Structures are given as C-alpha cells and as structure tokens.
Structure 1
Amino acid sequence: MSTDREDAVARLMRPRSVAVVGASEKPGAPTSFVMRNLIGCGFRGAIHPVHPTAQAVFGLPAVKRLCELPQLPDAVLIGVAAERALGVLDEAGQIGIKAAVILASGFAEIGPSGRALQATLAETARRHGMAVCGPNCLGLFDVHTGLALYSSRLAPIEAGNVAIVSHSGALGIALAHSGRLRLSLLISAGNAAVTDFPDYLSFLAGDARTDVVGLVMEKIGNPEAFSRATAAMHAAGKPVIVLRLGRSQKGAAASAAHTGSLAGSDEAFLDFFRRCGVIVVDDADEFIETAALLSRERRRPRSKGLALIGVSGGSMAHVSDVAEQVGLDLPELSPPTVATLSALLPAYATPQNPLDVTGIVFAEPGIYRAALQALAADPNIGVVAAVQDVPAGLDDGGAEEYRGIAAAIAEHRAHAATPSVVISNLAAGPHAQIARALDAADIPVLHGTRAALKAIRSFGDLPCPALAPAGLPLIEAHPHWTRRFVAGKQLTEREAKMFLADHGLTVTRELPARSREAAVAAAREIGFPVVMKIESPDIAHKTEAGGVHLGVADADGVAIAYDAIMVDVAAKAPTARLEGVVIQEMVEGGVEALIGVAMHETFGPTLLVGTGGVLVEFLRDSAVAVLPIGRAAAHQLVGRTRLAHLIAGYRGAPEADLEAFVDAILGIGAIATAYAGALSALELNPIAILPKGKGVRVLDALIIASGGKG
C-alpha cells in the first residue's frame, strides 16, 4: 500500500493534467520553453496556462489564478520569482494540488536569507502533503509520454530505459543530449528542498520503463532514506550510477555556492555509496559509458575475466595497458580455446588474450565471428570486447570496409550467452555508418578506452548493498564522562586513556609526575625503559612541541629528560598550560596504527583507520567508514590500506594481532556512536598491534569534546 508521500510523488512524475503558472510566449522565457516543450513533445494531458492578463498562451485558454481553473490539475509548474512562488505553492496546496515544479532560484544557494525562504517553502509543501521538484531547477521530462515540464530547449531524445536525476540542471541536460543514452526520465532536482533523491529512486524502483538510474549528486539530505531507496532499486534488479559533484576542495565550494549544501569529505561518501551498492563514477564520460552498457546488456557475466579481440596488435597493447591500470583481469585462455583459435587463425597469429585476429578478417569475416564464439565459450571469460576503431573522418567507402566485421559482431551477439561489447578507443566513437549498423543490432558501443573499460569493470562487479551489521558491541554513555566533556575542551592524554580504559580498551601503564623527583620515582615503579611525555590540555601534537622522549633507560636519563621536556615545550608553546609529565611503559615491537573518529556533516561520526605514528600525515595511508560497521566491514576497512600488509608480517616481521585490532576498531565505533553528541574528535595514534595473540595497546590518544550529552 502506497503512502501519501508516494502518491504525491507519483502525481509529480505521471500527471494526467498540468497547470503552468507564469506561462508565457516570450522567446527565451523559461515558461515559454515549458509551454513549447509540452506541446512539441506531444503531452496528451490537459495543459492549463495561468497568466494575470493573457487570454490565451500558445492558443490554449488561460486563467488568472489557479483557483479559476475548470478542473484541478495533477501538477503545477510554478514559473514566477522566488518570493511569489511561495504564495502560488500555498494556493495550489489549498485547492488540493499535490505536485509542483518550482523553477525559481534565490533559495538556499544564495545564503541565509535564501535558506529561510527555502525552509518556508518546505514547510508549506509538507503542510499540504505536496511533492515538489526544485526549487532552482529546470524541471522534469518523461520521454515516453511527452510530459515536458522542462524550462530549457529540448533536442530530440530517444526513448529508452535510463533515468537521470541530477542536482545540476546543466549537467543533467548535457548527459541527456549526449546522443548516447535512451532515456525514460530526466529530472532536474535542483535544491531538492522537499522531494529528494530517495523519493525519486523509490518511484523509479517500481517504474516499468526504467532499468538503470544515473544520479548526479551534490549532497545527501537523508542517508537512511537514501539507503532504503537504493535497497529497493537493488531488489528490483536496477543498478544505480552516481556521479558526485564537489569531491575536491574547490568543487565543494562551487557545490555550496550552487545548492547551498556542504559536500563533505569524499572518503565518507565513497564508503556510504559502497555500502548502498551503487556504482560510483569519476566523470561524465564514465557515467555515459556505464549507463550505456548497463541499459543494453542485461545478461550477467559468469566471471570477471575480460577477453579483448581486434585487428591491430598496437591497439590490443594499448587497451591491455589501460585495462591493467583500471584493475581488469585479462585471464589466460583455456587449452581448448587455444586449440580452437590455433586451427582457425593463420600461423603468424598468436592465440592469446588479448587476441589479434590480423587483417585476414577483412576478407574473411567469418573467421572473426568464429574467434568471438571461441572466446565467449571459454570458462575464464565473462565479457568479450571487440576493439575496433572506425574513425569518423573516413569517407563512406573507407567505412564500408569494416561492415563485414560489424556484421560478424552482430551475428555473434545475437546467439551468444556471454555478454559482448564494442570498444572504440576514440571518444568520438566510430563512423556513423558503422555506428548505425551496430546500434541496429543493439550492441553496446563504448567510446573512449578508459571510460569504456571502467564501465566494463563496473558491469562485471555490480555491487550489492551491505547487510546491516549484527552483533555490534553496544555501550552507553557514562554520565561521569559526559559531565567532563566541556565544549571545545581537549582532554589530556592521561584523561583520554582513562576514558578509553573505562570503555574496554587496553592502554599503556603510566603515572603522572609534576617534578623531576616524582618522574624518577614513577619510572622506577613502571620499570625501565620508559616513555616520557608532556602533560598539557593545550597541546595536541606533543612530538612537534618537543614533548616526547622515547626509551629513557635509567634514573639519570629520566631527570635529564624531564628538564629538557619542560624547557623545550615552554619555548615552543609558551601559552600552553604545563602539568608535568607522564611516565609510560615502553611498548616495543608491533605495528603502529591509527584509529580516529571525526564528525561528518552528513553522516555523523565516521571512522578512520590506517598506518599510524609520527609519519601519518606524510604517508596518508587510511580508509574511512561511515558508522556503524560490523566485523566483516572492519576487516575490509583494514584491507583498503597498506597497513594490512604490515599486519600480515611484512619482510619477515611476525604476524600482528589482526583480530584484536578489529576488536579495537569496533570498540571505538561503539564509543563514537554512544558519545556522538559529546565528542568533536577522537584519535588513537599510535595504537600498537602486537604480535598475534598478544593484543593491542593504545600508546597515545587525543579526545576533543563538543559539549553535547552523547
């Protein structure tokens, strides 16, 4: 049973009648494009122009206000300025219209005043139970029905099974007009103040005309809803492609200026998308090639192995190089396949993968077809790619020479169970004559070597949504600690370790000392050698301040180190409060790792794991996960870093205690979740992963409080 929200979205996407407020015949006016598009694209429902003075717009009778319409439309396009748009939206809601498209800019993307206006818009829509596309958008276009509530010029777009939903109107229409994709729907979501990507995905999961959805995203408003919607898409067997905007620092700034949203760290978004089971692409070319392949090839490859076939050894070498760079496997052919190809090809050809069938196939295209069949039958091969460049600059006579090869590919695809594609190394694609022949056979023709191969990689390894983690360690925030978390306060290292120990983590044995004599006594109690560190609530990075001495071996060394630390730190951090030193046991051996927690504006607490120690910022070896994560995900997180090689025992070193480290990761994840409102940052650097069976030890820790209650 559908909800009222789903019913409103359905009316937005499939209205039987529409009203256009601000309808105009003025050339270049947004609503002039809307009217022309509705009429020109053949929308068969009723179209009601609304204009304060005009009697008719493009020959259709006009009324002054929505309430004067002869019948209630399913949806209204509001083509007036931002301030007026709110009043029109409220009027539409009062008379019972449940769906609207708002074109106007001037909302969250312009700053505080616009955000306030957008909040009022959203509240108005929710009060009336309305679905709203926009504001700050171009509108939407159903290619199958001609519903073109779209405020930009629309060139002919072939109807098909790919839906595009884009925050960016310009990028969305550019992808739609690429000429490469057959579309079902084009949705310019704009600021998505009311109806957001999860709403569109939930609708498209049940849309019989859509098999693939491509998203151009600047933000995620509701991660939980997005996750549920992508799960519905996966259950419907419909892959989701995401091109996220604002991944770089400058891109994020442009994104904020565009939709008024903060982009957030790219690593956290990538982890979230990975768990949602969506395909993340890097640019528009990869978006197009991936959507083109997924929309045409519904058969699933039996393996990840890729076979390449062509008529040029140089071309084969080039594509093989790029395939290796993007992580595609070109497996060796099975002995039966090698035998078949040896009997088929001339003696000067080598039966291998990649396969150069030589120029003999121009005269005997049947050899090409038979070679394709042999590759497709090989159990190691999941996809066969015919690499064939037919430059667009060739005259028709030159292109005609390739027609036999194109026919061989088409005949093979018609009967083969193994997915097959054509790769053109040139981004411009093949000559139009050959392109038409391949298109008529419904063969995916992928343009540009790298984008094509990355599309094949995604096709061969379609991700699945991650299962919700089970059996996670659960803790409750201790009032004793939340009371101590004053906003902006940095705990001393000793306080941070006390906190961690209270929550089940193993920390170093240590004692505070506020004098040289106390330091010597503490060191004797701990046992030599020891580590000495400055204790201060104002110093986050003690090594840089001269506040760490390692391997102090005797009492005289402790006394000397105490004086040196106090002098050096006072010189380098003259305003810091110094509370003596901490004497710690010296933990030797093991692998130094990092576990950190940061607060993300979209996802809340996120976890960072990687190689630790003083070179952490130089090495930049880390992976990020959105919480919560389970044991399997924690193992995968470690596996995405070079730390995994060190734990396994690099160059003869003993294997480290991976399971104990995973326990620590899960423990920090539980802490971060329980204290999400109280912590601003938490970092264990380093945490020593001792040899297998000996656990882990927190050597240093940093906690900065936010002042919340957890």
Structure 2
Amino acid sequence: MRENRFGPFGIQHRDLGQVLGSPSPGLAMSTDREDAVARLMRPRSVAVVGASEKPGAPTSFVMRNLIGCGFRGAIHPVHPTAQAVFGLPAVKRLCELPQLPDAVLIGVAAERVLGVLDEAGQIGIKAAVILASGFAEIGPSGQALQATLAETARRHGMAVCGPNCLGLFDVHTGLALYSSRLAPIEAGNVAIVSHSGALGIALAHSGRLRLSMLISAGNAAVTDFPDYLSFLAGDARTDVVGLVMEKIGNPEAFSRATAAMHAAGKPVIVLRLGRSQKGAAASAAHTGSLAGSDEAFLDFFRRCGVILVDDADEFIETAALLSRERRRPRSKGLALIGVSGGSMAHVSDVAEQVGLDLPELSPPTVATLSALLPAYATPQNPLDVTGIVFAEPGIYRAALQALAADPNIGVVAAVQDVPAGLDDGGAEEYLGIAAAIAEHRAHAATPSVVISNLAAGPHAQIARALDAADIPVLHGTRAALKAIRSFGDLPCPALAPAGLPLIEAHPRWTRRFVAGKQLTEREAKMFLADHGLTVTRELPARSREAAVAAAREIGFPVVMKIESPDIAHKTEAGGVHLGVADADGAAIAYDAIMVDVAAKAPTARLEGVVIQEMVEGGVEALIGVAMHETFGPTLLVGTGGVLVEFLRDSAVAVLPIGRAAAHQLVGRTRLAHLIAGYRGAPEADLEAFVDAILGIGAIATAYAGALSALELNPIAILPKGKGVRVLDALIIASGGKG
C-alpha cells in the first residue's frame, strides 16, 4: 500500500476538524464558500470516482499523476468492481469510504455525474472536480443538465471545478487531479487558470514559466474565476496569475477579486478568447453595430486593472517577466544595450510600434559612456557597445550601470541573440557578457532584462547561465517589448465612481418601453427633455400648410424630418431636409419628404413631419447605449453625423462611469481633437458634453430592463460655455425583453 503522511486511509471521518486543520497559508477563511474553495484547491485527501488503470482513460491519468507527482495525502479509488487501482484499495461507492475525503474527482459520463455529485454532497464532501463533457457546451439539453448540477452543488455548499475540464494541479504539493499527461513542471510563483484545457496545457508546458498552480476551469458552472482569484490573492506561493478566459459569469465578483489581487500586489494577466466573434444580431441603431462585444470587455478589464495580452507568446513573456522581476521601474523609459547596431535598430523600430519610450540619455550618462567606450561608439539610447566587450566584458557591466543610474531610465534591456544552432564553442564567447549582466543585476536597483529577438530563445548554455542568476530572459522581439510595456505601466483598478447623477425611472415611460411601443424622434426627445437633456425646439405637422406655419413659428432656417416610429435612419429614406429657408421651401420640402419616404419605405407608418430649429456650428458627436449580454447597459461615445459608421471613431465604457472616466472615454477618440478646436475652430463645450454623457449613463442605468438601445446622433457640442443640443435621437424599446 502506498505510504502517506496521513496514514494508509487518510484522516478519520469522525474527526472532520483535523481534515482541514488550519487554513492554507495566507488565506483568510471567512465564509462557507471560501472554505469549500480551500478544500478544492488544497485537499489533504481525495477520492477518484471511476478510477481506472486502463491506458489512456482520463481517470488513469489522474491516478498516475497523483502518484507520480508525489501527492502525500490519502487517495481513495472508487470503482464498481475493482478491489484495488494502482495498488490502492478501492470501494464501490463514496458512502463506503472509511474516511471522508476533502475532495472528489468525478470521472464518469455526464448522465451519471449528478447522482455521484449528490451522493458526495450528502455525505459531507465540499469540493469536486468534474471531468465530463456534455453540459452547457452542447446546447439546450446540456445547459439544463448543467443548471441542475449547479443547483445540486449550491444546495450542498460545494465548490466544483468544471465540468468539461481537465482538472487542477498544485505543482508544489503534487496534488494532480488532472486528466492529461503531465510532463515535469518547475515549481514557482505563476498560477494559470484557463477555460481552455488545451491552451492551459500549452502554456504550462512551454518550459518558460515556473508554476504554483494549473487550473482547467472548463465550463465553470459553480466555481468561477473570481473564486480562484480570491483564493490565489491569499496564496503565499503565487505572485502572478494568468487567466485564459472565454466569458465572465459575474462581472461584480470578478471586479472584487481583481481588487483583492491588486491589494495583495499580485498582477493579473488576461488572454481573452473569442474576441473576433460578432454579436448574434445587429441593432437597428448605429450603436449596436459599433459597440462590439470586445470593446466592452476591454473597457471592463481596463477598469479592473488587469493586463490584457493579445496572444500566447505575449502571455508567456509577460508572466515570465512579472514572476521574476518584483522591483518596479521608477519611470517608463527603456534603455537598450547590445553589441549589434542592426539589432539595436530592429528592436528600436518595434519598441516605437508598441508605444515604448526610448528617452534621450542625461548629460552625465553621456559623459560616463563617452569615457568608457571606444571613440567609434556613440553614447546614445539605444546603445551599441561594439564588439570590444567580448574581450573586455567589464565595459559591458559598466555601461549597464551607467544606463541604470540615468534618471530617465526605468528598465534596462540587454538585447543579445545567441542562436540555439551555434556550437558550444560559439556560445561560450557570450558567457562573459552573460556574467556581466548577472553581476550587474545582483546589485542594481533598476530592473534589467535580456531580450532574445528569436522566439526560440538563446542557446541552452547561455540560457542556463542567465537562469541561474534569475535574470528574466524574454523571447521574441514584439512579445518581449509588449511585456516590458506592461511591466512599466501596471494598471490599477479604477475607483468606484462617486457623485453620479441619479434618476428614477418614470412609470409612464417604463410601461411604454416594456410594452414594446417604439418612439418617434420627437417622442424620444420628449423623453430626453423630461430627464434633463437639452433638445432642439420643434413642432409636428401633418399637412403642408401646418408645416409652413410651424416653420414660421420656429423661425427660418429650419430642419424638416419625417415622423415615423418605423424608420430608424431617416436620411437613407429621403426623410430629412436641412436648411429650409422660407415658406415656399417648407411647402416643397413637406411634399418631397412624404413622397420620397413613401416610395423608399412603403410599409412604414408615416405621421407627418417634424419642423425643428436649425442649430448652426458646433461639433457633431454621438452618445449611444447598447445592452451587453454580460455587462448590461454599455455606453458609446464618438464622432457623430451621417458618416458615423464610415469614420468608426468611438470608445465604449461599461456603466456606471464617473466624471473622470467620462473624460477619459472622450480622450480615447478623435472627437477629442475636434472638441479642443481643430485647425482654428473654436473650442467646444467639453464639460457640457460630459454632463450629457453622465446623464445618458444615468438614464441607461435607470431604464436598463426597459430599453434595448438609445442613440443621440448627432448631439451638437456648441462653443465653450454654450452647452450641447440633441439634434436627433433614437430609442428602441425592449418590449419586455430587457
């Protein structure tokens, strides 16, 4: 029988308090949910239902991994007929176990999972790993099964990894409830949590990261990323967490968990999958076509203070750097040093492309380098120290020290390619440089890294020397530089907005929206005016005579538009005439609008025309609201007018946002340049525009279940001090689907 520190059968069921003992190091237990997650992540004993010795079977990998990785807790195989599995005594059912395990791995088919999970919960097991596929990922039938699974787990107060997952692996303890072959992984301080099992395996076995934990979350039906993050925030063996995500189940919980990570000083890296997928249906409003799902996720992650990466290479290099370099740069300036002018030029080009600053060196630094380097070397950033350093590596070390001491420099990167194809003799020529870098890093306060332009990394001999000195060696020019950019500009979670304008939904409007009664533009403006926004003066007209009279009352010139609840985009239907200058023009415009719209939209209900004041000057902007399946109402701001989709100048924010965030939202668009007064134009009223943004955000929040979309396009931002004016508005009611 396999020996373990808990005795041959683990800790006795009658003394459950001893099963958990004290909380895991660094984890403050305060709730039943946290207690269950702790049992899932750090069990002292485990049961494996469906345990098998059959080669290739998932539970065979689990058993082999638990034993081969050195898990020292009790392992209880559960099998309907076998007396033993891999030499460990087996029982037929969980209820026959002589001791209560902390966690159970359920390795049976989907249709049998619920029975096993319920049995586990009834006997008091609080944590489970469920491998089986056949749940929400297959469609409605699987979704129903997963909902029942989640309810069963919640009823018993259980934490569950999966279903449709590979399991989890604690590299430090050997807890390998993992159903795939595990090659040796060096223990370290990076945790990976992934919806995708395959990507998790690829990242974990890249050979570039030292791991604390590997978690294949699968469908995350019960225990989700916020639970794992909350645990890892208190895990003394984890300093960096990398997430591979397809979805966010609970944005509020995720935000709280990333805040806990930030408070613990632990950066979170996110590689989000499915960023190119289009929405299920296009909205009739421009906002729906612009506010892509990815933009909302980007804003949400930005406000959570996580590091977003574009691909697996960037994920690996960012995690490698953050896990090894705990010092923080004093500035964003990057200094490059190497022995090749061509290599320096290449890296400098890419650095500029990814937005890194290569600042000028200070005069004292230039003077130091001038005295140190041969006359034919140029003391600048990037710095080519020339081939003299092969014979005199001390010069390389002194140059590193000079760069690190420059007040403009936050990170020093040694660019050194030593191709893996070199013979050992060729690689040995670079050992002096590697030693100089290692000696410098041991005593420098300024962070330093090594960049290999080749994704394959440097020659093994050099890699070993740098690794022994714990020097971050980053592979691939672009991925390396983007990792340095993230390192130099670690984001912080956004503070909760304060002082937001609050409104109450009016029952009259709510009933209309929920009933699905669409508004005309004039009615939409009445709604906006009721909630404090400034709209154009306008009057309805159902005849050419009424149109002329209304135009005279408002004052020429005027704008004339079709009024119809069925036409979202009036210009395309021939329903807009601008700058109507006199009574004759108003009569002609009325007739033309009615004829043209009837021809282009024959099924639309036509309710006459609207005559509105002509607003001269100002910057045309767009404010829109769309409903996001994950975040609810999201806000879009950008350049407005008829060319809105052609220009595609917009930025998206998840609500709510405060005044500072609204300013930042505008600043992420080219609209900001127009507001500031582009090419001699007068400065527009930015503060009034921000007021309008906050007002629309308050409306969207108050009517979240009643509105499907809301769009102000254009809203005119008048010269500074003169406010804004809503020129056109579109509101799409939810019809009870919100």
2: CA distance, partners of 1:153 / 1:251: 37
Say which of 244, 261, 275 aligns to 1:233: 261
Q: Residue 481 of structure 1: CA displacement?
A: 1.1
Please list the CA deviations of residues 315-364 of structure 1 after superposition, one character each: whole Å capped at 9, or x if unmatched. Answer: 11111111111111111000000100111111111111111111111111
Q: How does 1:409-420 map to 2 (within 5 A)?
A: 409-420=437-448
2: CA distance, partners of 1:337 / 1:391: 31
Q: Residue 252 of structure 1: CA displacement?
A: 9.8
Q: Residue 401 of structure 1: CA displacement?
A: 0.9
1: CA distance, partners of 2:105 / 2:290: 28
Q: Residue 263 of structure 1: CA displacement?
A: 13
Q: Residue 260 of structure 1: CA displacement?
A: 23
1:502 is aligned to 530
Distance 1:539 1:229, change over 3 A: same
Please list the CA deviations of residues 124-149 of structure 1 after superposition, one character each: whole Å capped at 9, or x if unmatched. Answer: 00010000000000000000000000
CA contact (8 A) 1:55 1:63 kept: yes
Q: Residue 2 of structure 1: CA displacement?
A: 1.3
SS in 2 for 1:254: coil
CA contact (8 A) 1:594 1:687 kept: yes
Q: Which runs of 5 or more structure 2 residues have no equivalent in the other structure?
A: 1-28
2: CA distance, partners of 1:5 / 1:380: 48
2: CA distance, partners of 1:80 / 1:642: 56
CA contact (8 A) 1:247 1:263 kept: no
2: CA distance, partners of 1:95 / 1:4: 16
Distance 1:574 1:255, change over 3 A: closer
CA contact (8 A) 2:287 2:711 kept: no
Say which of 251, 272, 275 aligns to 1:223: 251
Q: Which stretch has the larger CA shift, 195-204 or 558-567?
A: 558-567
2: CA distance, partners of 1:272 / 1:100: 30
2: CA distance, partners of 1:156 / 1:265: 38
1:29 is aligned to 57
Q: Which runs of 5 or more structure 1 residues have no equivalent in the other structure?
A: none
CA contact (8 A) 2:558 2:613 kept: yes
CA contact (8 A) 2:287 2:626 kept: no
2:369 is aligned to 341
Q: Residue 628 of structure 1: CA displacement?
A: 0.3
2: CA distance, partners of 1:67 / 1:646: 71
Q: Residue 371 of structure 1: CA displacement?
A: 0.5
Distance 1:256 1:581, change over 3 A: closer
1: CA distance, partners of 2:566 / 2:541: 17
Q: How many corresponding residue pairs? A: 710
- Pair 1:538-2:572 in alignment: no
Say which of 400, 404, 407 aligns to 1:372: 400
SS in 2 for 1:249: coil
Q: Residue 83 of structure 1: CA displacement?
A: 1.0
1:611 is aligned to 639
CA contact (8 A) 1:109 1:256 kept: no
Please list the CA deviations of residues 141-200 of structure 1 after superposition, one character each: whole Å capped at 9, or x if unmatched. Answer: 000000000000000000000000000000001100000000000000000000000000
1: CA distance, partners of 2:516 / 2:158: 42
Q: Which stretch has the larger CA shift, 250-259 or 566-575?
A: 250-259
Identity over aligned pairs, percent? 99
Q: Residue 479 of structure 1: CA displacement?
A: 1.0
CA contact (8 A) 2:285 2:568 kept: no
SS in 1 for 2:290: coil
CA contact (8 A) 2:45 2:102 kept: yes
Q: Residue 489 of structure 1: CA displacement?
A: 3.5
Q: Structure 1 runs of 4+ off > 4 angstroms?
A: 250-264
1:517 is aligned to 545
* TM-score, with length taken from structure 2: 0.94
Please list the CA deviations of residues 10-36 of structure 1 after superposition, one character each: whole Å capped at 9, or x if unmatched. Answer: 000000000000000000000000000
Please list the CA deviations of residues 341-396 of structure 1 after superposition, one character each: whole Å capped at 9, or x if unmatched. Answer: 11111111111111111111111111111010000000000000001111111111
2: CA distance, partners of 1:261 / 1:205: 38
CA contact (8 A) 1:190 1:259 kept: no
CA contact (8 A) 1:675 1:709 kept: no
CA contact (8 A) 1:157 1:176 kept: yes
Distance 1:254 1:85, change over 3 A: farther
CA contact (8 A) 2:337 2:344 kept: yes
Distance 1:141 1:270, change over 3 A: same
Q: Which stretch has the larger CA shift, 245-254 or 368-377?
A: 245-254
Q: How does 1:411-450 map to 2 (within 5 A)?
A: 411-450=439-478
SS in 2 for 1:608: strand
CA contact (8 A) 2:290 2:648 kept: no
* TM-score, with length taken from structure 1: 0.98
Distance 1:212 1:331, change over 3 A: same
1:653 is aligned to 681
CA contact (8 A) 2:685 2:724 kept: yes
Please list the CA deviations of residues 478-503 of structure 1 after superposition, one character each: whole Å capped at 9, or x if unmatched. Answer: 11211222444331000000000000
1: CA distance, partners of 2:421 / 2:283: 38
Distance 1:473 1:106, change over 3 A: same
Q: Residue 226 of structure 1: CA displacement?
A: 0.5
Please list the CA deviations of residues 222-269 of structure 1 after superposition, one character each: whole Å capped at 9, or x if unmatched. Answer: 011001100000000000000000100279999999999999700001
1: CA distance, partners of 2:282 / 2:332: 38
SS in 2 for 1:252: coil
Distance 1:211 1:643, change over 3 A: same
Please list the CA deviations of residues 50-101 of structure 1 after superposition, one character each: whole Å capped at 9, or x if unmatched. Answer: 0000011111111101111111100000000011011000000000000000
2: CA distance, partners of 1:412 / 1:607: 49
1: CA distance, partners of 2:493 / 2:306: 8
CA contact (8 A) 1:212 1:238 kept: yes
Distance 1:644 1:302, change over 3 A: same
Distance 1:194 1:474, change over 3 A: same
1: CA distance, partners of 2:130 / 2:141: 18
Distance 1:250 1:634, change over 3 A: closer
1: CA distance, partners of 2:528 / 2:381: 55
Q: Which stretch has the larger CA shift, 481-490 or 22-31?
A: 481-490
SS in 2 for 1:261: helix
CA contact (8 A) 1:255 1:262 kept: no
Distance 1:472 1:253, change over 3 A: closer
Distance 1:33 1:255, change over 3 A: farther
2: CA distance, partners of 1:692 / 1:399: 65
2: CA distance, partners of 1:656 / 1:35: 68
SS in 2 for 1:340: helix
Distance 1:257 1:560, change over 3 A: closer
Distance 1:69 1:179, change over 3 A: same
Say which of 79, 89, 101 aligns to 1:61: 89
Distance 1:258 1:582, change over 3 A: closer
Distance 1:255 1:642, change over 3 A: closer
2: CA distance, partners of 1:388 / 1:226: 40
Please list the CA deviations of residues 26-47 of structure 1 after superposition, one character each: whole Å capped at 9, or x if unmatched. Answer: 0000000000000000000000
SS in 2 for 1:161: strand
SS in 2 for 1:683: strand
CA contact (8 A) 1:516 1:563 kept: yes
SS in 2 for 1:660: helix
1: CA distance, partners of 2:658 / 2:671: 19
Q: Residue 634 of structure 1: CA displacement?
A: 0.1
1: CA distance, partners of 2:110 / 2:345: 56
SS in 1 for 2:346: helix
2: CA distance, partners of 1:254 / 1:439: 52
Distance 1:702 1:168, change over 3 A: same
CA contact (8 A) 1:219 1:262 kept: no
Say which of 319, 334, 337 aligns to 1:291: 319
CA contact (8 A) 2:279 2:292 kept: no
2: CA distance, partners of 1:342 / 1:563: 81
1: CA distance, partners of 2:40 / 2:283: 26
2: CA distance, partners of 1:190 / 1:258: 35
Distance 1:434 1:135, change over 3 A: same
CA contact (8 A) 1:490 1:702 kept: no
